[in-house]
Structure 1
């Protein structure tokens, strides 16, 4: 059965897409810790990051870095935090979170955004990718 992230990648579930290449997909987290919280996922379903072969792992990190650099340009923050955590979805995902304080990294503080605010920040991050 396809993971929710595979359904997003395939267009079965809508998302605020940030970037895509042949092997990866990035989109805004719909329950963000902070404005701009982005998920980077491999298109191939792999449950745990350490189950990835080294080449795929390094490509995911390079893709995440590229998206993270754009995120840092687009969303004012002290830094962009990166974490690989979570048991909810059996599909590797890298969280890129604009940090103002460590509260943004705890997954206990959530930001409420309107659809328009999601789209605006997605556009800003995409623009910073070029």
Structure 2
């Protein structure tokens, strides 16, 4: 069965997409730790990041760099944190999280619950900074 990320890639369910090319896609996390929390995903559905071929793994990080730069221009933060957990969805993904404190990337704390309109607004702002 296709992962929720594959369903977003295939436009079977909506996602607040920030950037996309033939191999990768970036979209806002719908339950973010902080405003601008983004997921970067290879379009090839592979569960574990280190099962990706070297070209795809390297490309994922290069694609994420461009997304991180756009987030950084949009969301006031000291830097963009990167996390790979890979347990909650069986599809490789990288979390990009705007950071002002170490706690901003604490996955055990309650997540934000922004409205779809709020997510849409954040996505539009980030897209304008590519």
Shorter chain as denominator, the TM-score bin is over 0.9
Q: How far did residue 114 of structure 1 move?
A: 2.2
Question: Is residue 80–residue 99 contact of structure 1 (8 Å, CA) maintained in 2?
Answer: yes
Q: How far did residue 111 of structure 1 move?
A: 2.1
Q: How far did residue 76 of structure 1 move?
A: 0.5
Q: How far did residue 127 of structure 1 move?
A: 0.6
- 3-state DSSP class of the match of 1:128? coil
Q: How far did residue 103 of structure 1 move?
A: 1.2
After superposing on structure 2, the runs of 4+ consecutive aligned residues of structure 1 that deviate more than 4 Å are none
Structure 1 unaligned blocks of 5 or more: none
Q: How far did residue 86 of structure 1 move?
A: 3.1
- 1:22 corresponds to 2:22: yes
In the other structure, the counterpart of 1:76 is 76
In the other structure, the counterpart of 1:5 is 5
In the other structure, the counterpart of 2:99 is 99
Question: Is residue 36–residue 71 contact of structure 1 (8 Å, CA) maintained in 2?
Answer: yes
RMSD between aligned alpha carbons? 0.9
Q: What is the aligned length?
A: 129
CA deviations on 1:42-89 (whole Å, 9 max, x unpaired) are 000011111011111110000000000100001111111011113111
Per the normalisation by structure 1, the TM-score is 0.95
Q: Output the CA distance in 2 between the equivalents of 1:105 and 1:26.
A: 18
Q: Output the CA distance in 1 between the equivalents of 2:127 and 2:101.
A: 24
- 3-state DSSP class of the match of 2:65? helix
